[in-house]
Amino acid sequence: MEPTKTFKDRKKLNLAVKKEFQRWLMLQVLFAVALSAVVAAVILYFYARQEIVGSFFDAHVKIRRVSDLLLPVVAAGSLVSLVSGAVLALFLPQKIAGPLYRIETVLKSVEEGDLSVSVKLRDNDTLQDFAGRVEKTITSLRGRARELKAGQDVLEQAVLAGQKDEIARCLAAQREKLESLKT
């Protein structure tokens, strides 16, 4: 039995897990943040670049605080960040949720006893490693089930033929195969 992890062990951040996936996800998020920052900076630049010579004398009446002057710029930057965050939230989970959904449906079939299923993802889908691991697990279970079925067939024939030695040998072989499965 695996030792129980303490709170301190679970609290550690492990950055070495699935480096390729972490790198891909981090690049997606950084791209959205960088795009937001660039667009907000461009808006601020063009807004701050406007000449105020003609309206300078009227400004003391209309602008009471610097926040009144910068409010449109901050609002535009926030809107850009909100839109890019919404786009990221809309499309990024699809790159993860789609493959997870396909893997989940395969695992539901396995749970119901169907070991003939296999995990098929598109070539450009993320989580290829995870899907490959699930596929190897299903293949292994399929092989073990075939061995148990073959042993059951031999055992049934030995029972029908009344071969006590063969029955004992088959039962021992079946027991050994079942013992190899940890439950």
pLDDT single digits (tens) 114-168: 999 999 888 888 888 899 999 999 999 999 999 999 999 999 999 999 999 999 9
pLDDT single digits (tens) 11-32: 555 555 567 777 777 787 778 7
Cα torsion through 160, 162, 166, 168, rounded to 10 = 100
Between 121 and 78, the more confident residue is 121
Question: What b-and-e string marks burial along 62-76, b requiring 16 or more CB atoms within 10 Å of the CB?
Answer: eeeeeeeeeeebeeb
Residue 65 Cα to chain centre, angstroms? 47
DSSP string over the chain? -PPPPPHHHHHS--TTTTHHHHHHHHHHHHHHHHHHHHHHHHHHHHHHTS--TTTHHHHHHH--SHHHHHHHHHHHHHHHHHHHHHHHHHHHHHHHHHHHHHHHHHHHHHHTT-TT------TT-S-HHHHHHHHHHHHHHHHHHHHHHHHHHHHHHHHHHT-HHHHHHHHHHHHHHHHTS--
Distance CA 178, CA 148 (A): 8
Tokens found for residue 169: 């040998």
pLDDT at 48: 65
pLDDT at 133: 94
Locate the domains of the chain by residue range: 17-49+60-126, 132-183
The residue type of 160 is L
